[in-house]
Amino acid sequence: MNHIKQLFLTIYISLAITYQDHVLASIATTRDIIVPKISEWQVTVVNGLTTSEILFIHCKSKEDDLGEISLRPRDRFSWNFGENMIHSTLFWCYISKDDGHMNVKVFWDDVILFHRCGWKTCVWTAKTDGLYLWNYASGEDVLSEKWEVGW
């Protein structure tokens, strides 16, 4: 009798595992297959100004305020985070220098951005003419936003 109970228990567990695997496999979307699931990201803002200017940055998301930061030339500020489950994570920064400023998104859910960031690290560099994003795919900085004149 114990062998029969053990056999039924084994069959039941096998069916439960098979059913669970089938359900998990069937809920995968095309996006899950095409876009790698990378949950950990890093964003870096670099003061790449050629003058000795201090770069002021204030970055935040809906949930997190990262505070006001002053970067000396060649200094950088980085933070790590996980993208939320509904792919709506958004970080933006107010960035200013002596004669210009900008409000700019530095992370949002976008496959093109993900490719440019190498699927893990977005590196933004403030230069004399604007803000550049390092494009890992092409191996170069790409101008993303020009400075607005004044404060």
**Mean pLDDT (whole number) for 14-41:** 46
The pLDDT, as a whole number, for residue 10 is 56
Per residue, the 3-state secondary structure of 44-87, as one string, reads: EEEECCCCCCCEEEEEEECCCEEEEEEECCCCEEEEEEECCCCC
- The pLDDT > 70 percentage for the chain reads 74
Please give the model's pTM, rounded to 2 decimal places. 0.73
Separation in Å, CA 142 to CA 57, 134, 138, 147: 20, 6, 9, 14
- Mean pLDDT score of the chain, rounded to an integer? 82
Q: Are residues 44 and 75 in contact, defined by beta-carbon separation less than 8 angstroms?
A: no
Identify the residue with better confidence: 26 or 112.
112
- The pLDDT > 90 percentage for the chain reads 66
Nearest alpha-carbon partner for 113 in 91, 86, 84, 85: 91
Domain residue ranges of the chain, discontinuous segments joined by +: 39-149
The pLDDT, as a whole number, for residue 16 is 42
**What CATH architecture applies to the domain 39-149?**
Sandwich (2.60)
Q: What is the pLDDT of residues 49-79, one digit of tens each?
A: 998 999 999 999 999 999 999 999 999 999 9
DSSP H/E element including 17? helix 2-26
